[in-house]
Amino acid sequence: MVSLKDAALLALGDELLSGIRREGNCTWMAARLHRAGWKVRGMEVLPDDTAASLAALRRWIGSVRLLVISGGLGPTHDDRTRDILAEFLGAPLVRDDATYDRMASRYCGDHREAFERSRSRQAAIPAGVESVYNPLGSALGMRFERQGTEVFSFPGVPAEYRAMADEALGARLTPEECWLSVSITGWAESLLKDRIADVLEDPLMHTSILPAANLVEVVLRGETDRIRAGEREIRERLPGDCLPAGCTTLQQAVVEAAIDRRMTVSAAESCTGGLVGAAITDVPGSSEVFPGSVICYDNRIKRQLLGVSPEILETNGAVSEACACAMAEGARRLLGADMAVSVTGVAGPGGGSAEKPVGTVWFAVSSARSGETKALLRKFAGDRAMIRERSRAKALELLWRGILGDTAWK
């Protein structure tokens, strides 16, 4: 029995089960399918093993409407997907030279030769199966239907998988109208759930909560009017904490707000060591608002470049309100920006003290327009990577609030 919009996702590859290559194609596809109204019933990572893969195909084909397979299409003997599908279908492998020629014609010289060497494997598909053009690599994709299940097979290289899936799945991935999300910053997940419990428990909507560092995305699905009302209710109840519609990352909110207000922003990063700058410049178009910033890991740089006074460093220390303020002011002036955020803290594992344990982080935002600099202290739990990540996310929140002129920090 096949439901209307049920799907399952498979990924093949021993390297995924040895744990160092992290499977990401299925998660990417699941997000696309979810937003297009599909229900993903399972994701499985399988070894390069014919019996295990056949067992999984037999379990899923005939029980979901859509099955998407990632990986196992390379040129080596470990890459068994086309053989496995041929065995499943009881069909011989044949070559689709026409499609392969189209792909090969993109290359010349050594690359073309390599393409030709792989032809006997990479151009092969089971007889009766449609091939899917690969715009980026040398492995053909595949598509067929059996027992009410539509099956797609794409290479595991993420860029190829995504490009081919977008093209081949087409309208199947079109987001449903009746879906929207609100991203909220500055709230712990549990406190936020209490604050908007009635909206989350509304029986006429389907809601999900997706927490990230200092950001919770609330996804609402249901009738258009209902979810719009739900979104309005959340925004009214959390004034100033909801990112604008369409914004799902803090860096995107920062860049959009700064573009909107024609402001430039900068940073002085100590314990985050570049994470804030990397996040902001992750946003296409950030060059319009972000001239650059300073990573001031050593106190000497805080002093020499940002003008933090030796007295502050000696008396208050680098992890202090005074130092955070001086860093933000220094960065704003040095970089010639309208606003700057600073981060200085103890990320660990070493460097903590009784007074300033690992996880102690000071932030400050300095504004040229108001002439004010405001600081905030946080004590984060977690290991070095978590403390740095949380610091990055908090700094971006404060910068965003600063751009909006919101000075009532929590």
Which one of residues 37, 62, 274, 352 is an interface residue with its own copies (CB under 8 A)? 274
Count of beta carbons in the 10 Å neighbourhood of residue 24: 15
CB of 118 to its own copies, least distance (A): 10
CB of 326 to its own copies, least distance (A): 15
Single out the residue of 335, 336, 323, 338 nearest to residue 372, CA to CA. Answer: 338
- Restricted to residues 350-379, the positions that interact with its own copies (CB under 8 A) are 350
Radius of gyration of the chain (CA): 26
Which residues lie closer than 8 Å to 350 by C-beta, 6 or more apart? none
Q: Is 138 in the site for its own copies (CB under 8 A)?
A: no
Residues 179-218, one symbol each (x = binds its own copies by CB under 8 A, - = not), give: -----------x-----------------xxxx-----x-
- Restricted to residues 73-112, the positions that interact with its own copies (CB under 8 A) are none
**What number of chain residues touch its own copies (CB under 8 A)?**
83
Q: Which stretch binds its own copies (CB under 8 A): 90-98, 146-154, 166-174, 385-393?
A: 385-393
Would you call the peptide bond into 155 cis, given omega within 30 degrees of 0 as the criterion?
Answer: no
Whole-angstrom distance, CA of residue 352 vs CA of residue 46: 44
Single out the residue of 374, 311, 299 nearest to residue 339, CA to CA. Answer: 374
Strand partners, 376: 363
Query: Quick one: 218 or 238, whose CB is closer to its own copies?
Result: 218
Query: Quick one: 78 or 406, whose CB is closer to its own copies?
Result: 78
Q: Is 291 in the site for its own copies (CB under 8 A)?
A: yes
Kindly state the tokens that stand for 113: 């030769």
Single out the residue of 60, 50, 59, 120 nearest to residue 87, CA to CA. Answer: 50
Whole-angstrom distance, CA of residue 261 vs CA of residue 283: 17
Residues 224-263, one symbol each (x = binds its own copies by CB under 8 A, - = not), give: ----------------------------------------
CB of 114 to its own copies, least distance (A): 8
- Restricted to residues 10-39, the positions that interact with its own copies (CB under 8 A) are 14-24, 26-34, 39
Q: Is 335 in the site for its own copies (CB under 8 A)?
A: yes
Single out the residue of 280, 345, 350, 292 nearest to residue 319, CA to CA. Answer: 345
- Restricted to residues 294-323, the positions that interact with its own copies (CB under 8 A) are 294-298, 300-301, 304-305
Kindly state the tokens that stand for 356: 């300033």
